[in-house]
Chains A and B, each alone.
Chain A
């Protein structure tokens, strides 16, 4: 029997470290949403992997946190990593 197709959320799942970065900067979802000009629920959907942001939005998020986009979003789950290790020594 053929395996059941994976739901869309699984096929297009994008893992992210957004909650970690947001907590590190002391930002609420509303703060981040306001800075990006999006709805606060959209931040929640992105954090839970239920919505994959466009490249444009992902780049804007990376720019806001001053980290490379691949430090926030990835196709594979992130390992345990401290946010400080993502930052250049000059930005700490």
Chain B
């Protein structure tokens, strides 16, 4: 059976489909957890004992996805340790950074616009409890966004691409 270390070392060679599934899992798990809690558990539509394993599953999905994405991105950069990235690798890294900047800007912009629209009707008071999911979300996702962009956009190396 493969050891965790050997599995981690295989992460940089994941195919694009697997990488995109991991990105979707990483970035879908935690928001779904918050959404499910707000829509189902908080109003009392779903008992907490039923929700608990689903919540653990969704959070695990996010953690595993983020870990795998980090392993992928780190591995791609790690391949070039001891020498500079070549021009294609630099171009890919720059595209990933530009994409992640665009995503972060869009999400922040939409969030601020959404709050502004809601605040037109009545003042919004945010307590610490309301901000905790946002802080966790930022801490969980923002540092890994460039790696996630790289994992999403980098094309597969074809099968005949032996060294």
Contacts and interface: CB of A to CB of B under 8 A. Distances in A.
B87 A53 contact: yes
Interface of A: 28-30, 37-42, 44-46, 48, 50-51, 53-54, 57
A44 B161 CA distance: 6
Interface in B3-34: none
A48 B163 contact: no
Contacts of B46: none
Given A29-B163, A39-B80, 4 more contacts: A37-B86, A39-B79, A45-B88, A45-B157
A17 to B, nearest CB: 18
B83 interface: yes
B87 A40 contact: no
A48 B158 contact: yes
A45 B155 CA distance: 10
Interface string B69-88: 00000000001100100111
Interface in B128-163: 155, 157-158, 160-163
B158 A44 contact: yes
A65 to B, nearest CB: 18
Contacts of B105: none
B89 interface: yes
A68 B95 CA distance: 31
Contacts of A45: 88, 155, 157
B163 A42 contact: no
